[in-house]
Amino acid sequence: MIPGFDNFNVRVRVPGGFTLPHPPRDSRTFTTPSGRAEFTVNELVVVRPGADRLLLQTVRSHDQYNTTIYGRNDRLRGIHHERRVVFVNPTDLDALSLADGDLVDLVSEWTDGSERRAPAFRVVAYPTAAGCAAAYFPETNVLVPLDSTADVSNTPTSKSIVVRLERTDERLRQSVER
């Protein structure tokens, strides 16, 4: 029996649901050797993408929970009926000679010299930090090699990807725009 799930079938039907036990919240207890919260500090590694490159972060849309996508709208960012978008600071768009609405491929570059491509993303001018861009995942998972994982957690390195934006090939552009 999982703590807090007794009489689940009855409790789940109660309007407003029910609260699962959470020792740090309920009793200020922690399952650590000290019995207290334990924090760690890691050295900050600053990634400098270089000329004509952006640091891409992957994000979820408003109607997404982890990798489950419930719709193609993101009311928080004003996106409707699509997910293949890349959010880019207007200053960066000017520097890259791109405009809001352009169709681009996202190309990630890796230290072993390999590249990975996510084709046909619509550029959205958005107030991201200068030098940075954002796109939804899982649509951008292809940009991260399977063996590119964090040292300790072994999770994919999807929150800090150096990319360049290339105009989408004309043949692909025509098939996407149909």
Residues of the chain under the 70 pLDDT cut: 66-67, 170-178
What does the domain layout of the chain look like in residue ranges?
54-177
* CATH architecture for residues 54-177: Beta Barrel (2.40)
- Are 159 and 143 in contact, with CB atoms under 8 Å apart? no
What pLDDT does residue 134 have?
95
Q: Hey, how many other C-beta atoms are within 10 angstroms of the C-beta on 176?
A: 14
What pLDDT does residue 177 have?
60
Nearest C-alpha neighbor of 165 from the set 111, 65, 112, 94: 94
What pLDDT does residue 26 have?
93
pLDDT (tens digit per residue) in 5-32: 898 899 889 998 888 899 999 999 999 9
Q: Distances from the Cα of 177 to the Cαs of 28, 122, 123, 167, 172, in angstroms? A: 55, 11, 14, 14, 9
What pLDDT does residue 43 have?
86
What pLDDT does residue 171 have?
62
